[in-house]
């Protein structure tokens, strides 16, 4: 998803998901955006997109640690599953591209499974 579309999706998801308490755009240029969707004081989703390098990072952070993520590096996707967030899942499911809304659905499932808000 190009940066401009992702920025629009961030704003739309922040408005439509009641559990998101705030959207912060941390950095933005004509080809890059870095933002956070805050869920609680110690839980947020960090989103980064760089069109120039075809890189996307979608990361769920709890207490300063990655607990789930999907990354696209030079157009190739991989996933960091909740049970092993330091490893790269390069299975067919791990390599599957996702949009922001789908990632947030996955975040909801991870938070529920971990008993987090």
Residue 64 pLDDT more than 90?
Answer: yes
Residue 6 pLDDT more than 90?
Answer: yes
DSSP state of 89: B
Question: What SS3 class is residue 75?
Answer: coil
Tokens matching residue 111: 């938070």
pLDDT the model gives residue 117: 86
Residue 114 pLDDT more than 90?
Answer: yes
Residue 1 pLDDT more than 90?
Answer: no
Categorize the per-residue pLDDT at 60 as very low, low, confident or very high, splitting at 50, 70 and 90.
Answer: very high
Residue 87 pLDDT more than 90?
Answer: yes
pLDDT the model gives residue 7: 93
**pLDDT 10s digits, 10-33:** 999 999 999 999 999 999 999 999
**Range of 41's domain?**
3-114
Domain count, the chain: 1
Contacts of 86 (CB under 8 A, 6+ apart): 66, 80
pLDDT the model gives residue 103: 98
């Amino acid at each position: 998803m190009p940066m401009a579309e992702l920025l629009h999706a961030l704003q739309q998801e922040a408005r439509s998901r009641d559990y998101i308490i705030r959207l912060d755009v941390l950095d933005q240029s004509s080809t890059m955006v870095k933002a956070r969707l805050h869920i609680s004081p110690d839980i947020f989703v960090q989103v980064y997109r760089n069109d120039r390098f075809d890189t996307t990072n979608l990361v769920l952070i709890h207490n300063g640690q990655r607990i789930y993520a999907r990354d696209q590096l030079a157009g190739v996707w991989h996933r960091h599953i909740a049970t092993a967030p330091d490893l790269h899942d390069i299975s067919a499911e791990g390599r599957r591209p996702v949009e922001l809304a789908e990632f947030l659905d996955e975040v909801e499932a991870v938070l529920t499974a971990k008993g987090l808000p």
